[in-house]
A = this chain, B = another copy of it.
Amino acid sequence: MNAKVTIHDVARMSGVSIKTVSRVLNREPNVKAATRDRVQEAVAALNYRPNISARSLAGSKAYLIGVFFDNPSPAYVTDVQLGAIGRCRTEGYHLIVEPLDSEGDVEEQVAPMLATLRMDGVILTPPVCDDARVLAVLDAEGVPYVRLSPDRDLDRSAYVRMDDVAAAYEMTAHLIKLGHKDIAFIKGHPDHGAAHLRYDGYAKAMAEHGLAVREDRVAQGWFSFRSGFEAAETLLAGEDRPTAIFASNDDMALGVMAVANRLRLNVPETLSVAGFDDTPGAKVVWPQLTTVRQPIQAMAAAAADLLLSGDLKGEDGAAPPSRLLDFELVVRESTGPAAG
């Protein structure tokens, strides 16, 4: 019942050589249409599937794409995997996931794996995508890679990212359009490039709409719930309060919501709250959070696409290709018209 079917069986059944079967399987040119059909019938009849080990041993492809991450937001990782698989599966590629421990000896984790697996490409998520050690090993082993939302060294490799500045700009504009003039901002972890970009978008929107950014309305956060909570405690102390708070990620925004609840400030009647990222938690509060959705699956799919289409070098020494994807403003119930 389960005897392994090899390419020889297909060749015999369709009366051609194994090489021709191989040609059909790999969509190589120079096969007569009639032959091709006959082979494909045999493949279907025998339910033949090429053995991936033999393929990669004989040929140059491993049919494996790696996904590296470290201490990730689970939702992010899952989305990356789903997006990448979507593009890979149709072409017979599979996904190898490799959690890394940046605290430890990354080289020792990455190098053996690259040497044994000979993957066709790797997708790097933050913060691994900015780890010089990882990039060095990849370069040394000659494994192509695409980075997702890298912070620096953008010319070093192909990458895919979202326009954080524009997204933060739009969110701020959304609040302004609702009538808010006194909009506070909670910054993210200064080591993350996105934190700066988001602040820039906020500042730009304020400036372009003729609104001043009061220094005491900008708080430093660390992208954590707790840091959002503490920032909100400061921002909302006393009578002179902003009418809206834009936290540069959802976890911090949820911290703001918690403080608002505690202080009995109604959201959004008294205080509007906006987040960034559209994490699962954004829908698991009441009222649900207005936020920005990163097209993570699409970004991962784009990364896989760059890897599979194989033009990562950039024509003639030009910068490697990159893609900028559109964000989506998700307006839910936590933002509303400014009071008064």
Contacts and interface: CB of A to CB of B under 8 A. Distances in A.
Interface of A: 1-2, 47, 49-54, 56-57, 62, 72, 74-79, 81-82, 85, 92, 94-99, 112-113, 115-118, 140-142, 225, 229, 251, 254-255, 258-259, 261-262, 264, 280-281, 283-286
Copies of this chain held together in the complex: 2
Contact of A49 (B62, B98, B112, B286): B112
B74 A78 contact: yes
A259 B261 CA distance: 12
A302 B115 CA distance: 28
Given A95-B97, A281-B281, A140 B53 contact: no
A1 B99 CA distance: 27
A95 B285 CA distance: 35
Contact of A283 (B62, B72, B225, B286): B225
Among the interface residues A1, A94, A112, A142, which one has the most CB atoms of the partner chain B within 10 A? A94
A334 to B, nearest CB: 12
Nearest to A113: B94
B285 A52 contact: no
Q: Which A-B residue pairs are the 4 nearest by beta carbons?
A: A258-B286, A49-B115, A74-B78, A74-B74
A124 to B, nearest CB: 16
Contacts of A285: 254, 258, 285
Given A72-B78, A94-B117, 20 more contacts: A2-B140, A2-B142, A52-B53, A53-B57, A57-B57, A74-B74, A75-B75, A77-B81, A81-B97, A85-B99, A225-B284, A229-B286, A251-B284, A254-B285, A255-B286, A258-B285, A258-B286, A261-B261, A262-B286, A281-B284
A161 to B, nearest CB: 21
